[in-house]
């Protein structure tokens, strides 16, 4: 059997590669094609395209600037699916591209007659639901027509999608098993602050200068503090280093780390994290932190018009209240950030309340084995 994958960002590459390994464990004769990142390509082989470097752009304006590229890639993907006639197309997150692709594949199937053998793909499956519940709930009914199966990682999503008629399986969050293996025995360093400025270059360039100024203010309040920065890649580490080189008075304050985010979350006493998957990872490791996010003003204004949830950080969404402070766009100021971090350092009751809420949040995400559950559901669907 053949499965065509589409993943467009680094985090989706991680999740999809783990899913591929789980599928291999169930059926070694599966053939993987499609496009994603380096981890997926290492499993799938030469026919698989690594396009993450160009496909992982962020924000409304950035997507518009790369419209020609995405239009060409969209046509190429449709042609590849038509040529391969896979047993399933598995779409991993990446909603701007993948929801349009699901619609196009469904339309082609309808035109191809009722015989699914003439359709581009027998089944269309989504893994890691797009967060349409945050910005366009009306699209859920359309997704119910386009998709054969939704595999979601948050429990409230399963209830929401099943109500629409879209068959949905809650498989648990894939990070649980991975992070469980990264636990270490350590004691938090009361003088260590960690910054996670994001995984994309554009967001890092917006957020990191704010973190640098916040560090200056924290250091004035507590002269013994040290700061470590988690770089999501070696490329981002170089960019961060170059940004610090332009601020030589700050260079000695920071140490840039790559490839050990989990360890840093378990050693640091408090910190600041850019909105994204790292916020749930920090909650898993019971690490007190505050959330920051800043994008271009056009992207922000478009987001304000579309987003229909009260919170940006997933821990707050799952708790349905502000467990961790959010400093977004114009509120992302060094004064506010440094004060919030100092409170987490100095107020033990505030730390304990946050950690207790984190335990409740992570308890919603299953006991592990999400990729194995997802792989079984896919094989059952196409078998």
What is the DSSP track for 255-289? Answer: EEEES-HHHHHHHEEEEEEESSHHHHHHHHTT--E
Which pLDDT does position 113 carry in this prediction?
58
**What is the per-residue burial (b if ≥16 Cβ within 10 Å, else e) of 39-61?**
bbbebbeeebbbbbeebbbbbbb
| Cross-sheet strand order for the sheet of 2-7 | 49-50, 31-36, 2-7, 88-92, 123-127, 149-152, 168-170
- Mean pLDDT of the residues in the chain: 89
Provide the pLDDT for residue 265: 98
Cα 280 from Cα 211, distance rounded (Å): 20
- What does DSSP assign to residue 369? -
In the predicted structure, residue 300 carries a pLDDT above the cut 90: no
Whether the CB-CB separation of 88 and 381 falls below 8 Å is answered with yes
328: β partners? 293
Neighbours of 339 (CB within 10 A): 16
- CATH superfamily, with its number, for domain 180-365: Glycogen Phosphorylase B; (3.40.50.2000)
Q: In which band, very low, low, confident or very high, does the pLDDT at 135 lie, cut at 50, 70 and 90?
A: low
- Say whether pLDDT at 168 is over 60: yes
d(CA 10, CA 15): 9
Among 13-17, 127-131, 190-194, the range scoring the smallest mean pLDDT is 127-131
What is the predicted pLDDT for the residue at 306? 63
| Mean pLDDT, residues 252-267 taken together | 93
Choice among 101-110, 146-155, 270-279, 293-302 with the minimum mean pLDDT: 293-302
Work out the average pLDDT over 196-210: 91
* Range ranked top by mean pLDDT from 63-72, 90-99, 215-224: 215-224
Phi-psi category of residue 4: left, alpha or beta, with phi > 0 → left and psi -120 to 50 → alpha? beta
SS3 annotation, 17-67: HHHHHHHHHHCCCCEEEEEECHHHHHHHCCCCEECHHHHCCCCHHHHHHCH
Looking at per-residue confidence, does 112 or 208 come out higher? 208
List, for residues 105-132, the tens digit of each pLDDT value. 998 887 765 555 566 778 999 999 887 6
Instruction: Reply yes or no on whether the pLDDT at 307 is more than 80.
Output: no
Alpha carbon distances (Å) from 159 to 26, 73, 112, 155, 264: 28, 34, 32, 7, 35
Partners of 226 in the β-ladder: 192
| Stretch among 141-155, 304-318, 320-334, 362-376 having the lowest mean pLDDT | 304-318
d(CA 86, CA 123): 8
- Kindly state the average pLDDT of the residues 35-40: 94
Question: What is the C-alpha to C-alpha distance for residues 97 and 293, in angstroms, rounded to an integer?
Answer: 23
Q: What is the mean pLDDT of residues 6-27?
A: 91
Domains 2-173+366-382 and 180-365 share a fold: yes
Residue 215: HSE in the Cβ half-sphere, 13 Å Cα cutoff: 29
Structural domain boundaries in the chain: 2-173+366-382, 180-365
Which residue is listed with tokens 């590669």? 17
Q: Tokens at residue 374, please? A: 């997802």
Contact present, 262 and 235 (Cβ < 8 Å): no
**Could you give phi then psi for residue 214, rounded to 5 degrees?**
-65, -40
pLDDT at 116: 56
Residues 6+ apart with CB under 8 A from 377: 149, 151, 169, 171
List the structure tokens of 255. 């140490």
Top pLDDT among 346 and 109 is at 346
pLDDT at residue number 171: 95
Q: Which CATH architecture has domain 2-173+366-382?
A: 3-Layer(aba) Sandwich (3.40)
Q: What is the pTM of this model?
A: 0.81
Residue 31's pLDDT band (cuts 50, 70, 90): very high
Which tens digits make up the pLDDT trace of 45-72? 988 999 887 776 656 566 677 778 889 9
Torsion angle in degrees (nearest 10) through CA of 334, 336, 341, 346: 130
Give SS3 for 121.
coil
Task: Name the least confident of 83-92, 224-233, 293-302.
Answer: 293-302
Is residue 321 scored above 90 in pLDDT? yes
Residue 158 has pLDDT above 90, yes or no: no
- 16: alpha, beta or left? (left if phi > 0; alpha if psi -120 to 50): alpha
What pLDDT does residue 323 have?
97
Query: Residue 279 — very low, low, confident or very high, per pLDDT cuts 50/70/90?
Result: very high
pLDDT at 298: 77
SS3 171: coil
Give dist(CA 212, CA 253) in Å, integer: 9
| Pairwise pLDDT comparison (112 vs 149), residue with the higher score | 149
Is pLDDT at 256 greater than 80 in this prediction? yes
Q: Are strands 226-231 and 326-328 parallel, antiparallel or unpaired?
A: unpaired
């Amino acid at each position: 059997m053949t499965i065509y994958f589409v993943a467009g960002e680094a985090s989706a590459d991680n999740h999809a590669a783990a899913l591929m390994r789980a599928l291999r464990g169930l059926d070694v004769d599966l053939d993987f094609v499609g496009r994603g990142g380096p981890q997926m390509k290492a499993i799938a082989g030469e026919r698989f395209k690594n396009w993450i470097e160009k496909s992982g752009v962020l924000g409304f304006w950035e997507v518009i600037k790369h419209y020609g590229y995405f239009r060409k890639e969209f046509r190429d993907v449709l042609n590849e699916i038509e040529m391969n006639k896979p047993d399933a197309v598995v779409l991993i997150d990446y909603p701007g591209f993948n929801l349009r692709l699901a619609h196009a594949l469904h339309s082609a199937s309808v035109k191809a007659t009722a015989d699914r053998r003439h359709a581009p793909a027998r089944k269309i499956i989504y893994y890691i639901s797009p967060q349409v519940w945050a910005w366009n709930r009306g699209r859920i009914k359309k997704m119910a027509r386009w998709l054969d199966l939704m595999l979601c990682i948050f429990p409230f999503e399963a209830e929401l999608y099943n109500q629409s008629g879209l068959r949905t399986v809650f498989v648990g969050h894939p990070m649980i098993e991975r992070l469980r293996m990264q636990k270490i025995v350590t004691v938090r360093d009361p003088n260590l602050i960690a910054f996670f400025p994001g995984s994309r270059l554009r967001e890092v360039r917006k957020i990191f200068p704010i973190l640098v100024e916040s560090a200056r203010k924290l250091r004035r309040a507590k002269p013994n503090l040290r700061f470590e920065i988690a770089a999501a890649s070696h490329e981002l580490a170089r960019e961060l280093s170059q940004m610090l080189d332009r601020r030589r008075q700050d260079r000695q304050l920071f140490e840039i780390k790559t490839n050990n985010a989990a360890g840093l979350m378990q050693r640091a006493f408090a910190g600041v994290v850019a909105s994204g998957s790292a916020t749930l990872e920090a909650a898993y490791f019971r690490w007190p932190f505050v959330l920051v996010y800043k994008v271009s003003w056009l992207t922000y204004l478009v987001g304000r018009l579309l987003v229909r949830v009260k919170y940006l950080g997933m821990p707050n969404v799952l708790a349905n209240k502000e467990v961790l402070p959010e400093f977004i766009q114009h509120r992302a100021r060094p004064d506010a950030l440094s004060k919030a971090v100092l409170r987490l350092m100095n107020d033990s009751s505030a730390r304990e309340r946050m950690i207790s809420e984190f335990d409740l949040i992570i308890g919603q995400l299953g006991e592990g084995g999400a990729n194995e559950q997802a792989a079984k559901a896919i094989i059952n669907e196409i078998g």
